[in-house]
Structure 1
Amino acid sequence: MKAPLRRAASGLAALTACAVLAGGALAQPPEPTALIDQQHCMFCHTVDQPFLAPSFRDIAARYRDNPQAQAMLEAKLVHGGKAHWGDMAMPPPVERGGPLSEEDAHTLVRWVLSQ
């Protein structure tokens, strides 16, 4: 094996070992605490129990196998949206803490779906 390929394979093995040590799966993204606070997510959601809205784990479980989930949920965060869980709709950003960039929506949804 040529040196660059050997180094790449060695690096991949090291990353895999780190992932296994971190819990047997690839490490999940860090919690975006500042965004969660800014958007007042915890006013309606919790990580693991339904409250006024579904838990983040329930959302992740419901959309885990849906390839369009990331884009759909990001759009819902950026614009608000109709209720998919009971009667409560996702309020628009102006009612949650201010505008949310597409990048920030991506960060939040990526974290939620990793739960």
Structure 2
Amino acid sequence: MTLAAAALLISAAHAAEPEPTPLVDQQHCMFCHTDNAAFLAPSFQQIAERYRNVPNAAAMLEHKLRMGGRAHWGDMAMPSPAERGGPLSAQDAHTLVQWVLSH
């Protein structure tokens, strides 16, 4: 394998997942988060940088999306799904977390 081919494979492995726009809209993610700058909550990039390589972080984040939870950043807690747009399935939470961690 050439160096260029290896670089392409590495780049593809770290490529951002496509935005799951219907889920992002349904859960009103952009009311508190942005892609790359803190707003009312940390940016998706900040979340990815903090948790991307932490064991079991994806499961913790998925649980937090499905249940809400205490603040890990600043003073604002993650609202419950009822406050954000309705129930969130385990698969939908997984999809959102994988997208965030791909930032």
- Answer whether TM exceeds 0.5 for this pair: yes
1:30 is displaced (CA, Å) by: 1.3
Q: Which residue of 1 aligns with 2:85?
A: 97
CA RMSD of aligned residues (A): 2.0
Please report the TM-score for the alignment, with normalisation by the length of structure 2: 0.88
What's the CA shift string for 1:31-86, capped at 9, x where partnerless? 10110000000000000000000000000000122011100000000000000001
Runs (5+) with no aligned partner, structure 2: none
Give the aligned length.
99
Output the amino acid matched with 1:59. I
* Greater Rg over alpha carbons, structure: 1
Cα deviation, residue 24, structure 1: 2.4
Structure 1 Cα separation of the partners of residues 11 and 26 of structure 2? 32
Q: Which runs of 5+ in 1 are unaligned?
A: 1-12
Query: Which consecutive segments of 4 or more residues in structure 1 shift more than 6 A?
Result: none
Give the TM-score normalised by the residue count of structure 1.
0.79
Instruction: State the SS of the aligned residue for 2:12.
Output: coil
Identity of aligned residues (%): 69
